[in-house]
Amino acid sequence: GAISMNNGNVIINGGNLSSRGDGDTGSWSDGTSGQADAIINLNAKYGTVNCEINGGKFTATGDAEIIVSKNPKFPVTASIKGGKFNKRLLNEDWIADGYAMTETPDSEGYYSVLAVD
C-alpha cells in the first residue's frame, strides 16, 4: 500500500497511489503488521486518524482495496471530495456531503468522485 495511518492527519490533493495486494504488511513491532492490503490503511492504532482526499489517482490491483479501516482502537474519519479510483469504495459513507462517486467507470476504468449539481 501507499499509506498506513496509525495516528494523525493526512490530506491528499493529487498524485498516483497504488497497492498490488501482495506485499508484506510488516513485522509485529513496526505498527503495520496484520493490516489489510489497501492503498490507504486507516488503522488508528495509536490515536485518532483523519484522512481528506481532494484528488489523485488510486489504483488497487489483486485483492487490494482503496481505503480500509479494520478494528481501529481510536476514531477514524475520512472525507473524500475528489479523485479517480479503479474500484468502488468499500465505505461510501466516507464520500463528503455534496459529492458522489460515478456509477460507471470512465474509458480508463476509473470511477470519479465529483461534486453533485
For residue range 26-69, what is the model confidence (pLDDT) as tens digits?
Answer: 555 444 545 567 889 898 999 999 999 999 999 999 888 888 88
CA-to-CA separations, 54 to 71, 85, 114, in angstroms, rounded? 25, 12, 10
pLDDT score at 35: 59
pLDDT score at 69: 87
Q: Are 46 and 5 in contact (CB under 8 A)?
A: no
Q: For 59-115, how does the pLDDT look when each residue is reduced to its tens digit (9 = 90+)?
A: 999 888 888 888 899 999 999 999 999 999 888 899 999 999 999 999 999 999 999
pLDDT score at 36: 65
Q: Which of the 8 DSSP states describes residue 95?
A: B
Distance CA 115, CA 7 (A): 29
Distance CA 94, CA 24 (A): 27
Look up the pTM and report it.
Answer: 0.87
Percent of the chain topping pLDDT 70: 87
